[in-house]
Amino acid sequence: MYKHTKSIIKACEKASVNIARDIIEVNNLHSSRNLGKFLNSSQVRFEKNIASELSGETSNIVVFAPDGTSKNIYDPYKMQNKNINCNATVVGIDNMINLGHGIETVAFGLSLEFPDRDKTTAVCLPATNTIIYSQDAEEFFSLGSDGFTRKIKINQSVNINFPTVICSSDHENHSVASYLPKREIHFVSSGSILCDLVRVLENKIDIVFYNKPCNEFLNFISYIVNGAGGSDGFINNSYVFGRKLLVKAVTQQP
């Protein structure tokens, strides 16, 4: 395992512990005013954890929120090191609304990009302490709370005529039925596109339909899905990703 891969995993683990504590603590808040302050402080703690753990890897850290807004986080001591030539992209906590209601389906992502090598990427689910990462864009691994690392690959064996497909969507997209006429569709969205990404990687759901996320979310997900053997594309305004054969079937409809 590369040094910077270990740094990303360590950063995920540190941020994950604090978010898991926040999920528990948020249940003790009784006013929306206190909740807003708490969620803001939770976001700040998350960003500080990421910045402190990646301070030896990069001089430029950009955090992207689900709404597409972004901001740079700099370590003042780190900027003095001119030998570092690496950018870090942080796909921020998704979905903060879930966290605000004490729901555990939240996730975040990290990627380090060096000019002379592929990106090192990871997505983390604090509730289950699961980290999925790749250091070469071709092999993806899952690090669970048990400490074991497992290689993962999206299952490509999909029978298009099978009667049931498990879908995830940020809204009940009934038009999907026209693309999969022989399937019964179940919408089982977690509310977090990154959580649903992990469920696709773990072969728990077949396909995900989402309204077009911000570009950085889209780029992050596309990089992981395609590297793990899946596929992605668009149907009208919906961004689609999941098992390759299924995605190709729905995106190539006239």
Q: At what angle do helices 32-53 and 3-25 cross, to 10 degrees?
A: 170
Q: Which domains does the chain carry? A: 3-152 (3.30.540.10), 164-251 (3.40.190.80)
Token match 């950018």: residue?
87
List beta partners, residue 143.
Answer: 131, 149
pLDDT tens by residue, 158-206: 677 777 788 887 667 666 767 777 777 888 878 788 999 998 988 888 8
**Burial letters 96-119, b for 16+ CB under 10 A, else e:** bebbbeebbbbbbbbbbeeeeeeb
Of 253 and 165, the one with more pLDDT: 165
List beta partners, residue 135.
Answer: none
Check: CB of residue 208 under 8 Å from CB of residue 222: no
Q: What is the pLDDT of residue 221?
A: 92
Of 172 and 153, the one with more pLDDT: 153
Per-residue pLDDT band at 62 (split at 50, 70, 90): confident
**Token pair belonging to 248:** 């190709």
Helix and strand numbers, DSSP H then E, in the chain = 7, 13
